Each structure stands twice: as structure tokens, then as C-alpha cells.
Structure 1
Amino acid sequence: MSRTRMAATAIGLAGVLAASQAQAQSASNSEQEIALLKQQLKMLEQKLDKLQNQTAANTAATAKARQEAKAEAKAEARSEAKAALANANAAIPVKGPVAPSGVVVTMPNNRPTICTADEQNCVAITSRVHWDVGGYNYRPDTASTVPQKLDSGENVRRARIGIVGKFFGDWNYSLIYDFGGTADGFGGTGAAGGTAVGFLPGGGTSGIENAYLSYTGLKPFGGKMAVEAGVMDIAWTLDESTSSNDIMFMERASAGIIAQNIAAGDFRSAVGTRWWNDQLWMGAYVTGPTTGAIHSASSVSPPGSSEQYGAVARIAGNPVSGNGYSVHVGADAEWLIQPPRNQVTQAQTLTLSDRPELRIDPTTLISTGAIANVSGAQVYGVEAAATYGSFIAQGEYYWFNVDRTANTGLPPLGASSLKFDGGYAQVGYVLTGESRAYNAASASYGGIKPANPFSLAGGGWGAWEIAGRVSTMNLNDQLATAAGIAGGRQTIYTAALNWYVNNNVRFMLDYLHGDISKQASATSSVNTGSTFNAVAMRTQVAF
């Protein structure tokens, strides 16, 4: 109600009152009556003002109460919504953190790699190609020497492609196939442990080189640990633990190859574990046959053999190391527990042999032949290496023992065991100043990474390395007896020049001089030895 309307109402009331009073009072008192009316009118105006103020206050209080009621209702609704959401979440199983969506593609060392954003799951493509070209100047000592000639030519030593990766950070896997035909210990002429199928001109067979699963989530005693199983490269001996992409010569020394072929080496089925830290490495594996080996009962030619199994163990370390220098020492052991057994004749045999540290021609120059009645074999070795700046020295030596007391229904042959031995020593020097870093995970030395990769535009010339090695292997024992073995004694001197174009390409040039001392049989002194010189070059691409 407006102030004007309220005033008019008051005046009307005052007029009515005045008229009634006028009737009761005398006209002579009109002035007093007017004064009294003014006073009453003023009191009415004050009451009206108070009433108006009270009305305004009530309106504001009502609006505030409405706002507070709305806010309280909203708060209560929010609380009820939160309670409902909490009840709904309580009914849903708790899950781990959600993995980031999307992937990251990288090219470490030019290897195509796809990983999740958290790098806990990865898959990468890996490959290597080793193509060899070379020739021999071979001189047999006599007309009865076998062979009379070694063939020059070329050979795809390794041609591998596959994938490697990991799941959830700790599960590692590898699947690699080798299309090359001359993998050591993998079938072919003279491979230890029997005969294989699928011969190729290079003396071997193609097949699965790696197919294994490894768990690395355990970290006991302040180090790292891997538990693995499948077909893999067994990190047994220093030379074998060094990748074929990083070795200083085109081939490893014969003594190590012959030792590994018994129950270790490439393409080997195995299950085992290894533990390491910066100074110490320890590992042990139970091993089976190699990929492609015949181990099913059969009467076809060649007859099948029962599955062989053995075991290997190695302890090695880097006890002395510093800025630009290191010392490595280690010891190895290998046991052939169950030799391959022919399912038709029940014979258990073992062949120790190797080609002359080159794979252009597949012919072996030293070989025990099939040692009959073998019940088991053992190999014990020592290893040592040292680096100083760009210089590295490395050597290993092995002692072999072959037991011939097999319980196969066949009589034992002569003495109960045969003993052989062999080893190598090698040195290398990088002319351009790079050095080989120590790899604690395999207790071996890595390859050379050029500080200035070759580039006509950039002026770099890569890295250049020279190396030399002498190796020896003696496969003779108990000569001049019917039970003896005349496998031959081999000594080879090798000089090498290696050009590391970049991290993925390398060219290797090797010169070999070999002397083979051999007689026709254990009871014959007729010399069937030979000498040879060879030059070979390897083109290597790997990532």
C-alpha cells in the first residue's frame, strides 16, 4: 500500500470522527478540536509508517527464508546423489588403474617398436643378416687326406627375423626364425648329439632360433632375476654370451663351439634361471634337444632318437671396474645326462666336431666321429677378459670328459672315458677410440658403437677395429689303442679388420691360417693332416 493512499484513508477516518464529535461538542470549541485532530492524525501517520516498515521487513525475511530453503534442498539433493553413487560403486568390483589410451611408436637403434604410453607393454621387430663371401687355399698333406679340397663361395650365415617384447613390464618374450643354413649345433654335418633332418647346402637347417618366455619381476638380494623357458640362446661361456652381432671374428673359436653343442648353444630347448647385479652373474638351466632334432621313435632312415637332456651352470663377474677399465672372470660347467638314444639299435652316440672357424664350406676337418656307448659327458671351463680404454683381451679354456659305460645292452668300448681339451686367446683394439661396454645381464662385453657414423655429408668414417686370435682344439685320446679316438688336433691363427659403419651395419674381413694334425685312426700312424689359408668377408645388417 502506498503512502498517499494510507494518508487519504487516515484523513477520511479523521473526518468521520470529527463529525461525530462535532455533534457531541459545542461549536465554540472548534479550535481545540482542530488541534486535537491534527495530533491524532500525526499519531496515525506514525502508526502507518511503522506498519509499512514491518511489512517490508516481513517481505525480506520471506525472500531470505525461500532462498535458504532452496539452498538446503539442493544440498540435501547433492547428499542423496552422492550416497546413491557410493552405493552403486560399492556394488562394482574394484579395478586397477586404467591404462592410458593410445600407443607410442619409437625406433631405438632403428628397431621399430610399439609401446603403450606407460611403456609397460611393447612389441618390436628384430632382424639380422650375416652374408659371407670367401675362399680357401687348402693343402692336404697326403693323397689319403679327407677332404682333398675345400670349396670357395658364399653363404648366408644367418638370416633372422622375429619379434621381441614384454607384457605388464615384467613378462618378456621372443619369437625369432632363422632362415640361414649354418647355425652351429643345429643339425648338419658333424653336429654334436646325432643326426638331424632338413639338411641345407651350408651344413645346417633353418628353424626357430628363439621362442621363449621370461619373467623378470623378482629382484632378490639386491639384484635382478629372470626365470625363463622355451627355445633360446643359452648364456653359457663368455664367447656364447656375446651376441653374434658383436663378436670380433666371423666365427667363434672351435673349442667353445664344440663345448656348447653338447648341451647348450643356440636353438636349445631349456628352462632355468639367472641372477645378476653389476658385479656378479649366476645362472643354471636344464636343457633338451635343439630345434628340429629327431626325438621321436621311428624305424625310418635316419632312425629316431629319444630326447636328450642335460644341464649347464655358469658363474661370472666383473670384480674390478672403473672409468675406462674392467676385469672379468668366470667358470662354466656342462653335463650331458641323457645322450640321444637310437630307438632301433639302442645305441647312444656323441659326435664332437667343428668346421675350421669359417662356414663357407660345410666340411669338418676335425671330428671324433660317432663315439659309441656314451652314457654321459661333462665339460668344465674357465673364462677371463679385461679392457683398458679401446683395448680388450679375452680367453677361455675347456676340459671335456666323455663316459662310455652306457647301460644299453651293448658291451662298453675299452676305457670308461675319453678326455679332450681346447681353448683360445684373443685381443682387439679400436683404432678410432671407442670401447666395449660391459653387459651385466649376460656377463659379457657388448659391441662397438661408432662415435662418428659413416656419412659423406657429415664427414664421419665410422669405427675401425683390428683383432687377432689363436685357438686350439685337441680331439685325440688314447692313441695307439683300439678304444682310442683320433679326431685330430687343430690350431688356427686369425687376423681381423672390422669396419663399423654405424650402429646397424658392419663389414668384417678375416684372414685365417690353420694347421690340422690328424692320423687315419687311433691305431694307424698314417698322417692325414692338412694346412689352409682363407680370406673371407662378412656383410652384416642388424637391428
Structure 2
Amino acid sequence: MHREMMGEIHRLQARVDKYEHTSNLQSRKISRAPRTLTAAGPDDAQPQFREDPVVPPANHGPRSPNDSRIALPEGPVQSWSSFKAASAKDESVDIGGIKIGFPKGRPTIASDDKAYAFSIGLLAQEDFGGFMGVGQRGKESAGNFNKFTENARRLRIYMSWRYKDWVVNVTPDFGANNSDGTVGLFEANMNYTGLHNTTLTVGYFQPRMEEDSAERSGAFEFLERPTIVDLVRNIAGGVARFSIGGEHYEKRWLVAGYFTGQKYGDRTTDKTITDSQTGAVFRAAGRPYVSKDIDVHVGVGATAAFKVNQSGTGRTTTFKDNVEIPLGETQLLTSNALTNISQIWAVGPQFGFRYKKFLLKGEYYHVGVQHDNVAASIDPPAIGFDGWYVAANYTLFGHGRGYNEKIAAFTTPGVEYDFDPAKGHWGALEVSGRWSVTDLRTSGTTKMTGTVISTAGETGNKQTVWQGGLNWYPNQHIKVMLDYTHFSVSSYNGAKSTDANFFGRSGNAVVGRVQAAF
């Protein structure tokens, strides 16, 4: 602005010199007549002054339910038109034809026409807490159940490059496991969004078949998914799974399907793999009834590994998981080793019901394991597992959890006003409860010697988890969680007296989490 004003002053001075200078040098030396300004003519340049734009203050509330949701860096990929529309609402700075802004707190650089863009997002979760009442009995191993410990659960940096409707996502994860210090890859994929409400994807991706996973990890009601959800999603999906496919949504329904391969790093972890896995993931979900106070969600998810990785030990796998607590504890739940596998599949329904600020939801899945037919006269034996969960949630203050049609899942509460005790604003607070059961017991046989299938009786064990939790959202980027967990896990056939679960185990845990998302 200062530069423009100086330019106008110089032009005015030149005009004065043109019309008001004296006729000769001598008279200028002897006497100087007083100068007067002459009004500019219609053809003369007029001075123009630009005022700095008035930047409105940041919106700390009140916010509508749709505008109050927590920032989720793993949201669905936006089309170019949606990106332009969203960017137009956000404040930005223009520097030489480049726009720099912070939509939902995410640093974003874009060309003036929004054709090119680059953004960086963040999800950081730090967990801390411990176990109580998990003592060993007899000669049982104590296992790893710390009374107090910490874990950086997810430390993801989301990097996104855009050219119109083409978007490339690369996300390293510096908290990729339940044990501190694990570094991995969350995703590396290319997406096309030029078709109406459709995203086509190829690369390392997380195809989602369950409602709980579709919510995204930053929006979970509890620290982790229910165990059955975690097991079935990793059959042919899960984080950093090679995927080719897409999803399409409308206001009342969504359908998604992906052909999948191995996970990122499989052949580094096991260098004996000579034939990689192939599989598929499918999901269909609907919203048969919706009103201001009510949402009804129904859906079905299915997944299958057409063949699992062929390694030096054959085609084998083991279902196992922790007690839904991400602190690196000993895994008590196991199916034992499943060998000579032909196929693994899972299918099940999902249901959700919201009434105002109350939400009830649940999912059930059946897992089938098919063994190889090594003898023409023997039908391939099949064994099965089951699991389910039911969760209830109520928002004490703030906007209640809502439904996101773009992911066909429920999402976080909304922060109507940012935390400001001086004004009586406390953010949003919700309370949740969940019952989760995973049963890996089966009377089927899992071992094969030559062409003879041996029957070893019941294998695997059963886990039941009860949880209660509070989640506080002081603003749209910060989340504080506190969970109480009671778990009970049975023993299993073949357990040794020195195993951590020879007699079965039960116990309690209290774990907190702080989360930042941009």
C-alpha cells in the first residue's frame, strides 16, 4: 500500500510541474510565484488507494453441527470442485499467484486457480496408563502388563499433492504399532475424483469394510477398535494394503469394493515369501431413515483372502490380538497356528441408531477358514470363528455425534464453542460404553500331516472385554480420552504351564490419551 501511495504522489507532482512551472529560468531565479493546484481533467489519471482487507476474527463459536465437527486428517479425498469450494470459504494469503491458507488448521499451498495444491496434515496420539489385577497363577508366565507405561500410538504426517482431480497421498507413521518406536507407512496411493461422488484408488491404502473403521481412527469412541473388527479388517485389508478399487456415495447409501494384495513390508519381514496374497474387500451401507433427531444406519461388510502369502512355512496364519489396549501388552487371545490354508473370508452386518445425542451401534462377523484339499477323496475342511460388539454413546455437552454420508458412518461430537471457562464454554464431552466378544474356539482341526487330517480337539480361546470411557474435546483439534477396561480371556488347548494364559487371565486397565489432529 505504501508503494502505491508514493507512486500516486509522484504522478501528482509531475502534473503540478507541468501546469504550474514558470516561463523562464531567470524569473525562477529572481522570484518564485506561489503554486496552485489545478483540478484534473476527465482524461487525467485519477489516484486510487486500496485499503487492507478486514480479516474477521477466528471462529471460536457458536458453530452449527456440521461446522463444529473435529478435524479428521483421514477424511475422504475431495474432488477438485469440492476442494475449490472449500478453499473459497477459508482465509488465505496471496503471494505471487500462490494462495497459502490453513483450512481446518492444515497448511495448504495452492495455485490461484486451485489446479495445483499441496497440504500437510497431522494425527498425533500419545497413550499412557497401566494394568491392575493381572497377577499370574502357579508357574504361569507373568506376561507384559505394566503398571504404568506409555506408547506413541499414531504419529502420522499426511502429505497430499493435487493436480485438479488427481490426488496423491503419502503418509509415514512414526507410531505404527502398540509398542513405542515402531515406524511404518500408513498409505501411499493415487486417487482420481473426477466422477460424481466417486473416488478411485490404486496403491497402498486402507480399504474399509466395517463401520467402526470407516469412522477413522481420530474419531473412535475408545482407544482402539473392538478385537473382532481388528481381526477381520486385516484378512485382506488393514493399513498400507495394496489396493485397486473405489467407492461411491449418495445421500442415503454408499458402496465400496477393492481388489487387494500384500501389505507394505510383507516381503521385508519374511524374505521366504514366494507367492504373495490376493484378496478383496467389499462394503455396502444405507441410511433407510433420517430426520433431524434420528439416524438409522444398516450395512454389510465382506472380505476374503483368495490365497495367503506362501512362505517357507507354507500358507499359514494365526489370529491373535491384545485386549483392546495399545500399550504393548502380551497378546492373550489366539487361534493357534492355522496351517495349509486355502482361503480365509469374513462377512457380517452392521447397525447404528442415533436419537438426538444418544448413539447405539454394533457389528457381528463370522470368519471362515478353508484348508487345502491335499487328497482328492477328502473335502477341504472348514472351521469358523465369531465375534461382535455393542457400543452406546451419549454427548453430555456440545453437539452430539452425527452421520457423515460421505463415509457412511457416524462421526465425532461437535464443539459449539471452544474451551473458555471465563465465558462458561467447556468444549464437548461424551461418555461411552462397549461390550466386545471374540470367540476363536473351534472343534475343527488345524493341523495336517501328509494326507491325514488330525483332530486335536478344541483350539483357540475366547476373549470378552467391557469398557467405559470419557472423551473431552476442548476445540476442533484436541481430544483427551480416558478409558477403563475389564477383560477376561480363557485358556486354550495346548497351552503350556509356563505360558501367560495357562489358567486363563482377567484384569483391569486405566489408560488415557491426548490427541492432536489437523
Q: Which bin holds the TM-score, normalised by the shorter protein? A: 0.7 to 0.9
Q: Does 1:238 pair with 2:211?
A: yes
Aligned residue-pair number: 413
Q: Aligned AA for 1:212?
A: N
Distance, in Å, in 1 between the alignment partners of 2:435 and 2:131 is: 18
Distance, in Å, in 2 between the alignment partners of 1:420 and 1:339 is: 18
Q: Does 1:396 pair with 2:369?
A: no
Per-residue CA distance 1:209-252 (angstroms, 9 max, x = gap): 11111111123xxxx22211111121221011111111100111
Matched residue, 1:537: 512
Q: Does 1:286 pair with 2:259?
A: yes
**8 Å contact 1:138–1:150 — kept in the other structure?**
no
Matched residue, 2:244: 271
After TM superposition, list the pairs within 5 Å mapping 1:298-313 onto structure 2: 298=271, 303-313=272-282
Distance, in Å, in 2 between the alignment partners of 1:534 and 1:411 is: 51
**8 Å contact 2:287–2:296 — kept in the other structure?**
yes
Tell me, which stretches of 5 or more residues in structure 2 are unaligned? 1-83, 85-93, 446-453
Q: Does 1:473 pair with 2:438?
A: yes
Q: Does 1:250 pair with 2:223?
A: yes
Equivalent residue for 1:461, pick from 408, 423, 426? 426
Report the RMSD for the aligned CA atoms in angstroms: 2.8
Matched residue, 1:364: 331
Per-residue CA distance 1:286-316 (angstroms, 9 max, x = gap): 1111121126984xxxx33531111011100
Distance, in Å, in 1 between the alignment partners of 2:372 and 2:382 is: 8
- CA separation of 1:138 and 1:181: change in aligned 2, threshold 3 A: farther
Equivalent residue for 2:293, pick from 324, 329, 333? 324
Distance, in Å, in 1 between the alignment partners of 2:244 and 2:268 is: 18
- CA separation of 1:226 and 1:445: change in aligned 2, threshold 3 A: same
Per-residue CA distance 1:153-180 (angstroms, 9 max, x = gap): 0000011113124211x21221110011
- Alpha-carbon offset, residue 432 of structure 1: 0.5
Matched residue, 1:164: 160
Equivalent residue for 1:378, pick from 330, 335, 345? 345
**8 Å contact 1:484–1:522 — kept in the other structure?**
no
Matched residue, 1:47: none
Distance, in Å, in 2 between the alignment partners of 1:479 and 1:143 is: 30
3-state SS of 2:248 partner: strand
More moved, 240-249 vs 136-145: 136-145
Matched residue, 1:24: none
Per-residue CA distance 1:329-362 (angstroms, 9 max, x = gap): 00011111111111x35x1101111110001134
Q: Does 1:155 pair with 2:151?
A: yes
- CA separation of 1:324 and 1:146: change in aligned 2, threshold 3 A: farther
Distance, in Å, in 2 between the alignment partners of 1:530 and 1:235 is: 32
- CA separation of 1:326 and 1:445: change in aligned 2, threshold 3 A: same
Q: Does 1:208 pair with 2:148?
A: no
**8 Å contact 2:136–2:142 — kept in the other structure?**
no
- Alpha-carbon offset, residue 520 of structure 1: 3.9
Q: Does 1:424 pair with 2:389?
A: yes
Distance, in Å, in 1 between the alignment partners of 2:377 and 2:182 is: 34
After TM superposition, list the pairs within 5 Å mapping 1:2-17 onto structure 2: none
- Alpha-carbon offset, residue 145 of structure 1: 4.3
More moved, 206-215 vs 304-313: 304-313
Q: Does 1:437 pair with 2:402?
A: yes
Per-residue CA distance 1:123-150 (angstroms, 9 max, x = gap): 2110111100011014357435455451
Tell me, which stretches of 5 or more residues in structure 1 are unaligned? 1-98, 184-200
**8 Å contact 2:200–2:245 — kept in the other structure?**
yes
**8 Å contact 1:210–1:231 — kept in the other structure?**
yes
Q: Aligned AA for 1:154?
A: E
**8 Å contact 1:309–1:339 — kept in the other structure?**
yes
Distance, in Å, in 2 between the alignment partners of 1:520 and 1:399 is: 21
More moved, 500-509 vs 433-442: 433-442
Distance, in Å, in 2 between the alignment partners of 1:523 and 1:148 is: 13
**8 Å contact 2:387–2:437 — kept in the other structure?**
yes
Q: Aligned AA for 2:190?
A: L
Equivalent residue for 2:473, pick from 500, 519, 525? 500
- Alpha-carbon offset, residue 418 of structure 1: 1.2
Higher alpha-carbon Rg: 1
Q: Aligned AA for 1:274?
A: E
3-state SS of 2:219 partner: coil
Distance, in Å, in 1 between the alignment partners of 2:421 and 2:274 is: 56
**8 Å contact 2:458–2:493 — kept in the other structure?**
no
- CA separation of 1:155 and 1:530: change in aligned 2, threshold 3 A: same
**8 Å contact 1:423–1:472 — kept in the other structure?**
yes
**8 Å contact 1:391–1:429 — kept in the other structure?**
yes
